[in-house]
């Protein structure tokens, strides 16, 4: 039986001019995860990262923390969707009295994401939701095909792709998968790890968003 550990990147620079850069907390989360994996006896036969800077930085931190000398394969199929474009084509909602800036942003993000996933406005986006999910599915298929029997792969990606793999493995229909993705994606923890196993019964999700390696002061969602 082979195993795939799907890891959301460490905390990026939310609110900064360049989001695609790990914060100091994000770097520490990555090193802590690597150390925790090594302490549990995990040895990575394959390490794959999306091509975003935060993916590569997370990979570097995990390798450092684990003491692994693995090469990192870059696969853009594991990239996150363009959340900035998803937001830019959707008007921000009016602020509700007493609502914090963070809460207003979250509401805007959820409304914009619902518009994107609906499939009714695909021409407004460079990558539709259907194209995004197909890209992630193809990346997962490539990884499964290349993974040696009883091998272990560690994938450094983002919340969107990890949540889609989980939703695709848990739900049977496209609408159900989309609905589940909308629920799973917002709760993804930075460096949260989801485990997929591949054996005689096919590909199965056995855990989602595990983050017991993080102390309370390192637990972040953005």
Instruction: Parse the chain into domains and list their residue ranges.
Output: 2-80+127-218, 82-125
Burial 27-60 (b: 16+ CB within 10 A, else e): bbbbbbbbbbbbeeeeebebbbbbebebbbbbbb
Q: Tell me the average pLDDT across 208-216.
A: 98
Per-residue confidence band for 144, with pLDDT thresholds at 50, 70 and 90? very high
CA separation for the pair 53, 59 (Å, rounded): 10
Query: What is residue 91's predicted lDDT score, i.e. its pLDDT?
Result: 79
CA separation for the pair 61, 47 (Å, rounded): 12
Looking at the DSSP bridge assignments, the partners of residue 195 are 5, 207
**Backbone CA torsion sign across 103, 109, 115, 121:** positive
CA separation for the pair 89, 116 (Å, rounded): 9
**Backbone CA torsion sign across 101, 212, 138, 71:** positive
Question: What would the CATH number be for the domain defined by 2-80+127-218?
Answer: 3.40.50.1240
Does residue 163 register a pLDDT over 70? yes
**Backbone CA torsion sign across 172, 198, 61, 51:** negative
CA separation for the pair 203, 170 (Å, rounded): 11
Rounded to two decimals, the pTM is 0.92
Structure confidence by residue, pLDDT tens digits, 75-110: 999 999 999 899 998 877 666 777 777 777 788 889
Query: What is residue 221's predicted lDDT score, i.e. its pLDDT?
Result: 92
């Amino acid at each position: 039986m082979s195993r795939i550990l799907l890891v959301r990147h460490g905390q990026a620079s939310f609110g900064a001019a360049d989001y695609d850069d790990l914060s100091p907390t994000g770097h520490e989360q990555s090193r802590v995860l690597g150390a925790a994996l090594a302490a549990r006896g995990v040895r990575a036969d394959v390490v794959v990262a999306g091509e975003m800077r935060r993916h590569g930085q997370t990979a570097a931190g995990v390798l450092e923390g684990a003491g692994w000398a693995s090469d990192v394969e870059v696969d853009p199929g594991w990239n996150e969707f363009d959340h900035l474009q998803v937001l830019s084509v959707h008007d921000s909602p009016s602020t509700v009295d007493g609502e914090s800036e963070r809460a207003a942003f979250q509401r805007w993000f959820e409304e914009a994401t619902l518009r994107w996933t609906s499939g009714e406005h695909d021409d407004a986006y460079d990558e539709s939701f259907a194209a995004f999910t197909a890209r992630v599915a193809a990346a997962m298929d490539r990884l499964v095909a290349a993974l040696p029997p009883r091998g272990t792969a560690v994938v450094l990606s983002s919340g969107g792709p990890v949540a889609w793999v989980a939703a695709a493995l848990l739900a049977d229909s496209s609408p159900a998968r989309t609905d589940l993705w909308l629920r799973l994606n917002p709760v993804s923890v930075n460096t949260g790890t989801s485990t997929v196993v591949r054996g005689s019964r096919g590909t199965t999700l056995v855990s989602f968003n595990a983050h017991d390696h993080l102390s309370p002061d390192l637990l972040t969602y953005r």
